[in-house]
Chain A
Amino acid sequence: MIAALALIVGLVVGLVLRPTVPHGLEPYLPIAVVAALDALFGGIRARLDGIFDSKVFVVSFISNVVVAALIVFLGDKLGVGSQLSTAVVVVLGIRIFANAAAIRRHLFRA
């Protein structure tokens, strides 16, 4: 419950402050978004499984963002940045989908 409130507060803060993304960080924004969604759905699923752990939740989000950004940063330096960025989005996208499916099974038993 409190997590849902915090999520909404975070959304509102972002919408109100309208921060500008520094130009250098722009390529990492889509990755951060997908990692954030992945952590969110993973957290919801763990909560429904009854094994939610706050430490894992925060650490998985931050480490996902950092690792994904590192991979893409490395890829940028080696000339395969956009491909690796796609790879990260695909992998995390699959996880989001499967987690959403697990959440669905929990909620609707279907």
Chain B
Amino acid sequence: MKAARTPGERLIDLVLDPQDPAYRQAYEGRRTQGDPPRWYDRPATVLGALLIGFTIAVAYVHTHRSAPQTQKVHADLVTRVRDAQQQADDLQQRVADLGNRISSARDEALVGDSTLTRQLRAQLVAAGELAVHGPGLQVTLRDAPVPDADDGLGEAQRAGSTPIAATHQLTDRDVRSVVNELWADGAEAVAVNGIRLTPTSAIRFAGQVVLVDFEPIASPYVISAVGDEAGLATGFASSAVASRYTTQASANGIGFSFAEHKDLALPAAAPISLRYATPGGTK
């Protein structure tokens, strides 16, 4: 047994010679008693070793289970989002069905009054509540390909880490300017990625995503306009908007193209229910 040690030496011992003094003490104690074997020696050793093995196995299992756990949560969230999207789609479908039934019922009721029917249909088209088809122009805007993560820019290119103005990502302003140009060129009905625009439609940008009437859409942005195809094409081709995106396409690598179509089909938008506005004009 070592002689009495100062606390400082004990600290050094802890690092350099960490043997548990209890073992030495127990050994000395037993030697003075002639070292009789005790009944619990083996079971105690076995129990200790079992506990140690069990603890290590539990820790191993625990560590390797948490990874799939996070994956499970992620998968669960994805399923829930998909379900919600499916439900929204179903409801949209139902709205369209009911809208069709309303219009057929209305057509029946208005049979024989062709002026009124025509007037109503024109209004409905203008309000975007009637699916339409006809010749028109289709403009496609596509985000520039994302640069590879390992091209030296690394972190700086991660989504959200640079202000949107500093990147060449397409935003609501790009979609909106094309839409406005198409209206100005005489479009009668416009849809963005299959979402029909109505007089109350909004094209917005939130969280790196373009929203049309609160529905997120992603690149490529396909803007379809029904109208006089020749007028639309010449009007759009000579516009400042078109020349701006042609320049950007060659400078920044965004995709920009437009083409005339003989027959574009645009879906109907959900009808707007007016809650405050009442028709007026005639007193």
A-to-B contact residues, CB < 8 Å: 2-15, 18-21, 26, 29-30, 32-33, 36-37, 39-40, 42-43, 45-46, 49, 51-62, 91, 94-95, 98-99, 102
Contacts and interface: CB of A to CB of B under 8 A. Distances in A.
A7 B51 CA distance: 8
Contact of A3 (B24, B30, B49): B49
Nearest to A55: B44
A54 B42 contact: yes
Contact of A10 (B18, B23, B42, B52): B52
Interface stretch (B54-62, B128-136, B236-244): B54-62
A19 B65 CA distance: 11
Given A8-B53, A46-B23, A98-B16, A33 B59 contact: yes
A54 B20 contact: no
Contact of B45 (A2, A33, A94): A2
| Interchain residue pairs A-B with the least CB separation, the first 3 | A14-B57, A10-B53, A51-B27
28 contacts: A3-B46, A3-B49, A5-B49, A6-B53, A10-B50, A10-B56, A11-B57, A12-B53, A13-B50, A14-B56, A14-B60, A15-B61, A18-B61, A21-B62, A29-B59, A29-B62, A33-B59, A36-B51, A36-B52, A37-B52, A49-B19, A53-B26, A53-B30, A55-B40, A57-B48, A58-B44, A58-B47, A94-B14
B44 A57 contact: yes
B54 to A, nearest CB: 4
A36 B49 CA distance: 9
A15 B60 contact: yes
Contacts of B17: 98, 102
B52 A61 contact: yes
A53 B27 CA distance: 7
Nearest to B59: A33
B41 interface: yes
Given A15-B60, A55-B40, 5 more contacts: A9-B50, A10-B49, A14-B54, A14-B56, A42-B23
Interface of B: 14-20, 22-24, 26-27, 30, 38, 40-42, 44-62, 65
B22 A32 contact: no
A8 B16 CA distance: 30
B135 to A, nearest CB: 64
Q: Which of A6, A52, A98, A102 has the most CB of B within 10 A?
A: A6
A89 to B, nearest CB: 13
A36 B23 contact: no
Given A14-B53, A52-B23, A53-B30, A91 B14 contact: yes
Contact of A54 (B24, B48, B51): B48
A61 B51 contact: yes
A33 B23 contact: no
A56 B54 CA distance: 19
A43 B48 contact: yes
B258 to A, nearest CB: 58
Contacts of A32: 55, 59
Contacts of B18: 42, 94-95, 98-99
Q: Which of A13, A45, A57 has the most CB of B within 10 A?
A: A57
A35 B85 CA distance: 50
A61 to B, nearest CB: 5
B26 A2 contact: no
Contacts of A11: 53-54, 56-57
